[in-house]
Amino acid sequence: MNILSYTNCPLDPKSGGGKMVFMFSQGMRKLGHRVDVYPPEHYETWYGLHRAKKFRQAWGGWHSVNKNLKAGQYDLFEFCGDEFWLVTWRLSKSLKRPLVVAHTGGLELLATERMRALNSFPRSFRNRLYDWFFQQTHERFSYIAFAYADAFVSLCELDRKHVLKLGLYPTERTAVVEPGIDGEYLSMPFSLRRQERVAFTGSWIARKGIDKVAAVMTRLLTQNPVLYLDLYGTGSARDVVLTSFPPQVHNRIMVYTRLSNRELANSLARAKVFFFPTRYEGFGIALAEAMACGCAAVTTPTGFGADLRHGKEVLICDFDDVGAMEHSILRLLNDDNMRQKIACKGWERVRSLNWDTSTKKLEAIYSEWIQEHRSRMRN
């Protein structure tokens, strides 16, 4: 196969969306396929500016794909992100074109719905004006990006179900291919020896549910004087993060902005509970990594969390149910038998998440779709 892939994220093997494209493209090359990948710096108009990024990527992506159509022969165009609505729409008008696949690390159509629910409180006129502009432009363009693609691949079942609910694709042209977990996490043995610690991994932003982390953990830290909270990969300085918590618990909150995979795996292996009350995830690799390190997890029904079995592999709480979140964490902290059973089942569930297996699954799906597409184009 000859694949041309465009992504809206830098090819950073340490970031979510960028890592997905990086690892899948590398894996496909190892299997003998040609994969040409274009990150933003290769196509984005006026790259590096901080305004109108989605428009500049849409315009630059269209021009770049037009050049590549003339320069080489491809079997499949893969677009990772809703910024490629213009080129997807234009390609849909051509009778002789490669298969067009929307391969998403996070479905913007669903993420927008979730964040709108988060921001449902009264807002200023300026914010409401921006929301109206966003709905008239980016939301419409996002819909076009998926509506005019031939097929769809996501990292989780929830995203696939959402595009099917919208009627954007026939079922047979949608697929879920879960990502892999790095070896440092998969190599962690299952251990019952744990400290009185609750862990969270993620950027310190609203989408990650940090308001719920602050509310729930403030109560638990206040009630239990020997409990610690570990915050990993916040991307924000410790002083900034601690403003979300009362001063009396600051000495039992550890903030780590960035750690190596090995350091993070060893640190997660100390915690009894992993708390991940995120609003939306395309997958949520942080949850899978924590489960691989033997943590019993409390999370929300999004991304990988929505694919897990409640009460068996994880405890799932509604997005705004702070009481259920607090109760779930307390149960896991106080009931060792329950915690160990959930942690063990979760640890077993993520054993299958490796990049070689996922890449071979993607290869088989793409091969089948390309053959079907060629047949449709001939007819």
Q: Give me the DSSP letters along 79-123.
A: EESGGGHHHHHHHTT-SS--EEEEE-SS-HHHHHHHHHHHT-S--
Assess contact for 325 and 298: CB atoms under 8 A. Answer: yes
Residues 362 and 245 in one domain: no
The residue behind tokens 């109760």 is: 327
Residues 171 and 282 in one domain: no
Residues 43 and 162 in one domain: yes
Pairing between strand 2-7 and 34-38? parallel
Six-digit token string for 342:
């959930």
287-330 pLDDT per residue, tens: 999 999 999 999 999 999 999 999 999 999 999 999 999 999 99
Residue type, 30: K
- The pLDDT of residue 12: 80
Residues 291 and 374 in one domain: no
Residues 31 and 170 in one domain: yes
Summarize the chain as % helix, strand, coil (round to 5).
55, 15, 30
Assess contact for 202 and 303: CB atoms under 8 A. Answer: no
* Segments of the chain scoring below 50 in pLDDT: none
Residues 370 and 284 in one domain: no
Residues 143 and 190 in one domain: no
Cα 113 to Cα 321: distance, rounded to the nearest angstrom: 18
Closest CA to 36 of 98, 92, 108: 98
Helices 108-118 and 157-165: crossing angle in degrees, nearest 10, is 90
Closest CA to 186 of 362, 351, 363, 15: 351
Residues 364 and 346 in one domain: no
- The pLDDT of residue 356: 95
Residues 169 and 75 in one domain: yes
Residues 165 and 209 in one domain: no
CATH of the domain at 113: 3.40.50.2000
Number of independent structural domains in the chain: 2
- Which residues contact residue 39 at a Cβ distance below 8 angstroms, ignoring those fewer than 6 apart? 7, 9, 10, 11, 18, 21
- The pLDDT of residue 119: 65
- The residue range of the domain holding 91 is 2-180+354-378
Assess contact for 315 and 276: CB atoms under 8 A. Answer: no
Residues 123 and 252 in one domain: no
Residues 49 and 85 in one domain: yes
Cα 70 to Cα 82: distance, rounded to the nearest angstrom: 24
193-222 pLDDT per residue, tens: 999 999 999 999 999 999 999 999 999 999
Cα 168 to Cα 181: distance, rounded to the nearest angstrom: 30
- The pLDDT of residue 118: 67
- Quick check: helix, strand or coil at residue 158? helix
Residue type, 301: P
Q: Count CA atoms within 13 Å of residue 279 on its CB side.
A: 21
Query: What is the per-residue DSSP string for 299-353?
Result: E-SSGGGGGSPBTTTBEE--TT-HHHHHHHHHHHHH-HHHHHHHHHHHHHHGGG-
DSSP H helix total and E strand total for the chain: 15, 12
Whether pTM exceeds 0.85: yes
